[in-house]
Each structure stands twice: as C-alpha cells, then as structure tokens.
Amino acid sequence: MALTRIGEGRLPVYIQEARIGMESKHTLEMKGISIEFPGVKALDHVDFAVKSGEIHALVGANGAGKSTLMKILGGAYGHYVGEIYFDGKKVDIRNPQDAKALGIDVVYQEVDTALISYLTVAENIMMDKMVNEMKGKHFIRWGNIHREAREVMKRVGIDLDTHTLVQDLSLAQKQMVLIARALATNTNFLVLDEPTAPLSQTETEELFRLMRDLAQNQQVGIVFISHRLPEIFEICETITILRDGQVVTDTTIDTLTQQKLVELMLGRRFEETYPKIHVPIGDVLLEVRDLNEEYGRVRNVSFTVRAGEIVGITGLVGAGKTELCKTLFGAYPMKSGEILLRGKSLHIKSPHAAVHQGMALVPEERRKEGVLVDEPVFVNLTLPSLDRFTKGPAFVDTRAERAKAREVIQDLGIRTPSENQKVAYLSGGNQQKVAVGKWLIADAEVYIFDEPTKGVDVGAKHDIFALIGALAKQGKGIIYASSEIPEILDISDRIYVMYDFTIVKEFETSEATEEAILFYSAGGQ
C-alpha cells in the first residue's frame, strides 16, 4: 500500500491511509523453518502463523527459539531454511528491508542495540521515514520530523521532549520509543519481544490498551513474547509454545492453565514456587550511611546487610533501585555518605575499585553492561578475576581459564555447545547465568543483583534463586533489587521500599504484604 504525501501535516494522512488498507485481513505463515548457528540447531522445522487483528502469544523456556524465530520474520537472520507466506503468497525475507516492505515490525528485547543513543527521540522514531526522504535529497524538514514524532508518541501514550537524546532516557522510556518507531510506518504485523520487562504496572496497562486498539480497530496482527504468565492470559487469544527449537502446541489460550503452560514449556511438572533457603544470619557485613549520588539519583539512603542475609530493594520503575545499585558499585559518582564493609570505610570511585574491595554487580541491562556479547563464554566468566589466570606481567593461561569456565558452566547449567561459544549466540537466560557466573570465580563478599530475572523463564529463574540461596549459605551479603514484588517476598529476609530515589520503608519479610509494599512504592504515607 503506497502512502501519499498531502500538505505539511503528513503523519495524520499516513495513519488514515494505513487504517483504510488494514480493513482487509492479512495472514502470515512460516512453514518448516530451521536455522543453525555454530554448534547449535536453534530451530527445527517450525510452523507458525498469525493473522490480522489477533494477539498471539509465543512462549517457551530460554533457548527454545522464540526470539530467533521472530528475528527471521524481521529479516535479522537470512540464512534460514523453510518458507514464509503472506496472504497465501510465498515471500522471501532475508533482510529487514524485506520485512518492512510487508509491514512487519519487530520491537526486539535488546532495547539499547535497537536505538541510536546519540540521536534524539524524534530522530529514532522517524528513522525509517528520514532515510526514505533523504534519497536523492540534501536536507530534512526538522520541524515536520519533530511534529510527526509527537503525533506518534501521542498514539502510544507517552509524553517526552522529542529533542531529548535517547541516551538520557530510562529503560522504560526507550522501550516506548521503540514501539512508537514501529507504529510510525505502515504496520501490518507487530512483534513485541518481552516489551513489559522494563515497564511499571501503569505503563504495562497503557501498552495493553494500545495493543488492543491496534488489534481491534486497526487490524494489526500482534505477536507477544513474554515470560510473565498472567500477562499472556490477560492479553492474548492464541498461543504457540516452543521447546528446544520445535513447536510443542498451537492452540487458543482458553484451553490452558498457567500450570499446564509451564509444564509444556519445560517438558516436566514444575511448581512455580521458589522455596526460601533459611540460613543463619550473621553480623552486619555492609552498612550504608546517608548515601547521596552526585546528580540526585540517590538521596539520603541508609541500610544494612548482614552476612548470609538477602535484602530486597523494591519500588516502582524509576524509584531509584538501579541508580542505588550503580552508586554502590562506583558506576555513578557518590556525592556524600559512607559505605562500610565489616566496619571498614570503603572508597569506591569506580567499578574497578568496587571489585577490588569485595563488591559484585549483576546489572539490569545484561547485554549492555553485564557481558561482552562478542567474546566467548570463558572470557566473560574469567574477566573479573583475570589476575588468577595470569602468569608474569602479560601471559594469560587460557587452558586454566577454559577449565575453570567449564566448571562454572556445569555448576550453573549454562546451555552452550562449549566454553568457546560467543555469548551473543546464547539465550537471554543463559546470558544472565554468564553475567552471574563471572562473579562466582571472583568470590566477592557483597553481591548486588539488579532485576536478575528480567526476561528469563521460570526454569532459569529457579536456577538463579537457588544460586542466590547458595551464596547466602556461604555467608555472603546479598542485595536483590527488583520491581517484581512477589519475587522480593519469596527470596528476601528483609525489604526496603524506595520512592523518589530514597528509602521510605523497611519491612521484615515475614511481616510484609504485596499491598503494603505497593502502598509505600506509590508514595503512600
């Protein structure tokens, strides 16, 4: 469907024409799709179909092939085997341009790699249109670009200054900018890969409102990938379940229960509970006194962590949890306050200093900050403790590195063909295990986990919980920061609630309720 430029207010015209074109139903089918990477057969003869006006769930454990299948659909992987049909006609999707020509847009899980951080919100949203306008021209009408970007954001329900650089946005804001960019063009099918992971409850509700509007009123077909089971049952009508690169079932959502869905994902019976490992709590290990971050992102924060204790830090998205974790680790500058480990004041001015003084951080944005995706697994696992594998001033014993990496791979159940596999080719859950595993070799005293289960399935979540419990059993101090309140209640011994970059409430977990935590998270007094 061609889009015609009429006058200066171009975007409303584009949207109107797109809606007219979408009144007819479209079908999208993938048949016999297979793809291999070095040492891994990621998909094996997968059939998948979605139609206009449908919200279709695509689920599976980490490594099942969900994101890989959608990257094929979006043109990111062109070396697949199999066939794709659009409205019954065979099409060839080998690059992103092929997908966009059919109106297929994918909002990938890796937000920071999909956006250009040094460009503005408007430039990122209108990227495709700017590229098309620049063909054969030497100028762009910037006023139109910003006006049209504001119109798209209005549809998505976000209010941002279009001149803001993307690098200055929160993770949740970046997610919404990506969705806005997808909707700035003629979209027939929209793929959302873990879109709610960085969103608050209010932002998630707004996203669901938008999804329903797109499906019901504009006949957009939506593929929804999520590990949050209640969301799947709330928003989706149909579902395809993958396991080990193959389709397990394709059915309507009302034929399943959450328990049955988990069993189909994992191939075994599984209780989605995480039994708390109770260990003796020792003396105060870490004490934070009146901590303030240089730019006001942490304000007058004080708390303690005892040996063997798991301390939960919770609050809504944007409350300051991540900022606190990064300040403790030296990634954000400390303005005032004191951090003490075993009663000794620490001088943490950089992550390097934090590691040297016994701190470890598993960050929220694992691909950007937690792992080196283009390096092998063994390099990632041994990097924080490289001095243990160094002989002389410059010689690294790679044989010892690989041997230690194989131990960690086995202990954590990291699914990889070998320690030589690039981390980029691992699933999200296995990347997270690598991000955690590197600190096991470093043997820190205080472990900071920032949203450690974001984007991982129930099986990997169970493994991560077991690992954290084992660290507590060793007498380590654990800080577990998460906006997932049920997780905080499951795993923590004590809970601190953050609001507006400071701690507003402390609970003993045995006395806390989800309702009480939400009350203080929302600024209740």
DSSP string, 74-113: TTS----EEEEEETTEEE---SHHHHHHTTEEEE-S-HHH
Determine, yes or no, domain membership for 72.
yes
Indicate the burial class of 88 (C-beta count within 10 angstroms; 0-12, 13-18, 19 or more): exposed
Number of domains, the chain? 3
Decide which of 180 and 266 is more confident. 180
Report whether pLDDT(479) > 60.
Answer: yes
Decide which of 170 and 506 is more confident. 506
- pLDDT at site 472: 94
Are β-strands 246-252 and 238-243 bridged in parallel, bridged antiparallel, or unpaired? antiparallel
For the whole model, what pTM was predicted? 0.65
> Averaged over 256-274, what is the pLDDT?
76
Half-sphere exposure of 88 (CA within 13 A, CB side): 1
Biggest alpha carbon–alpha carbon distance for the chain: 72
Decide which of 477 and 264 is more confident. 477
**Average per-residue pLDDT for the chain:** 87
Report whether pLDDT(1) > 60.
Answer: no
- Report yes or no: 479 and 304 within 8 Å, Cβ to Cβ: no
> Averaged over 330-359, what is the pLDDT?
94
Report whether pLDDT(169) > 70.
Answer: yes
Neighbours of 35 (CB within 10 A): 22
Instruction: Tell whether 53 and 72 lie within a shared domain.
Output: yes
- pLDDT at site 267: 80
Instruction: Tell whether 131 and 161 lie within a shared domain.
Output: yes
- The predicted-structure confidence for 277-291, as pLDDT tens digits, reads as follows 889 999 999 999 999
Tokens of 514: 């989800």
Determine, yes or no, domain membership for 3.
no
- pLDDT at site 191: 95
Report whether pLDDT(405) > 70.
Answer: yes
Instruction: Tell whether 91 and 221 lie within a shared domain.
Output: yes
Instruction: Tell whether 61 and 110 lie within a shared domain.
Output: yes
- pLDDT at site 24: 62
Instruction: Tell whether 240 and 379 lie within a shared domain.
Output: no
Instruction: Tell whether 213 and 286 lie within a shared domain.
Output: no
- pLDDT at site 13: 32
* CATH number of the domain enclosing 334: 3.40.50.300
- pLDDT at site 250: 95
- pLDDT at site 349: 93
- pLDDT at site 3: 35
Report whether pLDDT(210) > 70.
Answer: yes
Q: Residue 33: pLDDT band by 50, 70, 90 thresholds?
A: very high
Three-state DSSP at 48 gives: strand
Order of strands, sheet of 494-499, starting from the edge strand that comes earlier in the sequence: 359-362, 446-450, 477-481, 310-314, 494-499, 502-508
Find the angle CA(392)-CA(410)-CA(268) to the nearest 5 degrees.
Answer: 165
- Report yes or no: 120 and 162 within 8 Å, Cβ to Cβ: yes
Q: Which residues contact 399 (CB under 8 A, 6 or more apart)?
A: none
- pLDDT at site 45: 95
Report whether pLDDT(499) > 70.
Answer: yes
Instruction: Tell whether 241 and 301 lie within a shared domain.
Output: no
Report whether pLDDT(14) > 60.
Answer: no
Determine, yes or no, domain membership for 33.
yes
Of 417, 443, 469, which marks where a domain is finished?
A: 443
The whole domain housing 413 covers: 374-443
- The predicted-structure confidence for 90-102, as pLDDT tens digits, reads as follows 999 999 999 999 9
Instruction: Tell whether 169 and 203 lie within a shared domain.
Output: yes
Of the candidate ranges 203-217, 277-291, 323-337, 491-505, the one whose mean pLDDT is the lowest: 203-217
Determine, yes or no, domain membership for 363.
no
Rounded CA-CA distance 16/47 in Å is 33
Of the candidate ranges 17-31, 156-170, 181-195, 266-280, the one whose mean pLDDT is the lowest: 17-31
- pLDDT at site 135: 64
Determine, yes or no, domain membership for 475.
yes
Determine, yes or no, domain membership for 275.
no
Instruction: Tell whether 323 and 400 lie within a shared domain.
Output: no
Report whether pLDDT(11) > 50.
Answer: no
Determine, yes or no, domain membership for 294.
yes
Instruction: Tell whether 170 and 216 lie within a shared domain.
Output: yes
Q: Which residues contact 489 (CB under 8 A, 6 or more apart)?
A: 312, 495, 509, 512, 514, 517
Please report the DSSP string for 385-434 in residue order.
Answer: GGGGGEETTTEE-HHHHHHHHHHHHHHHT---S-TTSBGGGS-HHHHHHH
Tokens of 415: 């699914």
Determine, yes or no, domain membership for 367.
no
Report whether pLDDT(17) > 90.
Answer: no
Report whether pLDDT(153) > 60.
Answer: yes
Instruction: Tell whether 318 and 466 lie within a shared domain.
Output: yes
Rounded CA-CA distance 139/157 in Å is 30
Of 424, 443, 462, which marks where a domain is finished?
A: 443
Percent of the chain predicted with pLDDT > 70: 92
Of 443, 458, 485, which marks where a domain is finished?
A: 443
- The predicted-structure confidence for 114-151, as pLDDT tens digits, reads as follows 889 899 999 999 987 787 766 666 677 888 899 999 99
Instruction: Tell whether 417 and 499 lie within a shared domain.
Output: no
Rounded CA-CA distance 301/291 in Å is 5
Among 520, 486, 516, 490, residue whose Cα is nearest residue 503: 520
